[in-house]
Amino acid sequence: MGGIGFALALGASGGVGALCRWGLDVTWLKIEKRHPAGGIALVNVLACLLGGLLVAAVLSGNLEANSRVFTLLATGFLGGFSTFSTFVLDIFSVTERGNWRRAWGALFLVWALSLLAAATGLALGVWLF
């Protein structure tokens, strides 16, 4: 696949990731009305888990970090799937309603869960690969 073909594949991969993010967020909003930011938080934690699995695949030698497959998965899919900026805007909307404690709690909880998910993905990947 040439340069332009790979660029299109990378864009498509990012688009698939964005569609998956949107689908999870919409599903979350149908289920959970009280915590609308939870869908994007879940997406970001899940992206960290998947990122940990990708790193494990690289560490095991099953995937090369400079390969096109890695780029399609990490930069494309996970780049389109995860969204720190939307999560921050969700947290900001909580602060606008005057609930600073809840905003800071959610922020630190998601950061902690993201780190735990990345470590879990790495450990699971090392075990799998």
Distance from CA of residue 110 to its chain's centroid? 12
State the residue range of the domain holding 70: 3-128
Hey, what amino acid is at 114?
A: S
pLDDT value of position 70: 96
Alpha-carbon span 108 to 93, nearest angstrom: 16
pLDDT value of position 92: 87
What angle is formed at CA 52 by the lines to CA 49 and CA 54, rounded to 5 degrees? Answer: 115
pLDDT value of position 35: 79
pLDDT value of position 60: 94
pLDDT value of position 45: 96
pLDDT value of position 79: 95
Could you read off the pLDDT tens digit of each residue along the chain, which spans 129 residues? Answer: 679 999 999 999 999 999 999 999 999 999 987 777 889 999 999 999 999 999 999 999 999 999 999 999 999 999 999 988 888 888 888 888 888 998 899 899 999 999 999 999 999 999 998
Residue-by-residue DSSP string for the chain? --HHHHHHHHHHHHHHHHHHHHHHHHHHHHH-SS-TTHHHHHHHHHHHHHHHHHHHHHHTTSS-TTSHHHHIIIIIIIHHH--HHHHHHHHHHHHHTT-HHHHHHHHHHHHHHHHHHHHHHHHHHHHH-
First to last CA, the chain: 27
Total count of domains within the chain: 1
pLDDT value of position 2: 73
